[in-house]
Structure 1
Amino acid sequence: MIASVNIKSRVLLVDDDQVTLTLLSKILEKAGYEIIQAQCGEDALNVILMQEPDIALLDINMPGMSGLDLADRLRTETSIPFMFLSATSDSDIVKQAVEYGAVGYMVKPVDVLNIVPTVEASLARANEIKKLKKNEVNLTSALASGRETSMAVGLLVAKFQSNRQVAFDVLRNYARSNRRPIHEVAVELLQAEETINQFRNLFSGK
């Protein structure tokens, strides 16, 4: 039997109200989640150093470090997604939660029937965002590599009075014969040309 995805998901619950922590813990543990508890923001930050959760559920109104303050720390210092638990559904608070990057929002008193579906939906949303960010990084890297390879091809065209296809084929074949990525060879060519230009300026007295 294949275990459901949420069996291995670890949820950090942060709330100064022990009754709420106990209720949420029991319901989510019964649904197969691993639960970590913290009663304040400072404790939560210490906990994640030892056990990083898949998602954090933060009470907004806590003494000391608020849920919003903790969310800001998570957003800037970690990659842990978070959702909020609040005693109000005020539109300004909800808007602020969205601006902080929350992937979910629950209102107290919590509807026990909605706890698990809300956490599951928030985890799914967090995974979607993570994939989008990863794809964005990969795309940025690919575009940068493409630009540098194109510039190196242009350099070879100018140096050897060739056309772009021939220059690209030569660059690619050189990279393959040396078992190196074409992007790496392209960067090396561009750096060499920059160095030569610097010497050219020195010889010309500039």
Structure 2
Amino acid sequence: MELPAPTRRLVLIVDDDSLLREYLAEVVGHAGHEVLQAASSAAALRLIEQHGAAIALALLDIEMPGMSGLELACLLRQETTVPFMFLSASDDGATARGAAEAGAVGYVVKPIDAGPLLAAFEAALARADDIRQLRRSEASLSSALAAGRETSIAVGVLMARFHIDRHQAFDVLREHARSQRRKLGEVAEQILATEEGLGGLHGEIGERIRSRARP
């Protein structure tokens, strides 16, 4: 059976070494991704302003003239949602800790071979996707809870009844509303209206929770 083609992603490579930058672009491009290149942090910021959240991952050289990769990373973390990984000539613990504290989703030490680079790159992409999904879930959860007191209380009821955490309870409530083609608030009101209303949902919601727990 033929495997599906990998998803094409937009990747930003930031490095003042033109030869290394071209090599990285070639490796990432051959893996099926679209590449943007920047020779400095200032150029990278201009590209990020143009492409924004379409950039799936930025590969940042730590040591660059002017604004360093670490300084650029701080800006990205504070002002954008673009995830990033670092390229570094140093493998010392302090530099690695600095990268982790900056919020990097990956770290590759130069000189860079194609195999290890792609492995680290794909792992960083997966980690970035996880973070992006969590942000979407949290934003959706916060929005729903802010929209109505009933939803917030209903989430608490499901947490207590089924011994699940806040995110699981909200996801179950949302999926049930979608399956019934009803608004989230309406389902929440039904749960809160009477114990009988919750009892009517017990079997379906319980099955949703059990299916999530199955391997």
TM-score, with structure 2 as normaliser? 0.65
Please name the residue that 2:91 is paired with: 89
CA deviation string 1:165-187 (max 9, x = no partner): xxxxxxxxxxxxxxx9859xx9x
Count of residues paired in the alignment: 156
Say which SS state the counterpart of residue 37 (structure 2) adopts: strand
Larger Rg: 1
- After TM superposition, give the deviation of residue 3 of structure 1 in Å: 5.0
In the alignment, structure 1 residue 63 sits paired with structure 2 residue 37 = no
Task: Name structure 2 gaps, 5 residues minimum.
Answer: 154-182, 190-215
TM-score (norm 1): 0.68
Report SS of the residue matched to 2:118: helix
Q: Paired residue for 1:203? A: none
Aligned to 1:161: none
- 1:24, 1:150 → 2: CA distance? 47
- Cα root mean square deviation, aligned: 2.5
- The answer to whether the 8 A contact 2:105-2:127 is kept is yes
User: What is the match of residue 136 of structure 1?
Assistant: 138
Report if aligned partners of 2:83, 2:105 keep a CA contact under 8 Å in 1: yes
SS in 2 for 1:51: helix
The alpha-carbon deviation at position 9 of structure 1 amounts to: 0.4
Equivalents in 1 of 2:44, 2:151: separation in Å? 46
CA distance in 1, matches of 2:4, 2:41: 32
Alignment gaps of 5+ in structure 1: 152-179, 187-206
The one-character-per-residue Cα deviations of 1:178-198 (angstroms, maximum 9, x if unpaired) are xx9859xx9xxxxxxxxxxxx
Identity %: 46
CA contact (8 A) 2:41 2:72 kept: yes
1:4 corresponds in structure 2 to 5
In structure 1, distance between residues paired with 2:10 and 2:140: 27
Change (3 A) 1:144 1:23: same
Match of 2:106 in 1: 104
| 1:64–1:149 CA distance, 2 compared to 1 (3 A) | closer
Is the counterpart of residue 75 in structure 1 residue 77 in structure 2?
Answer: yes
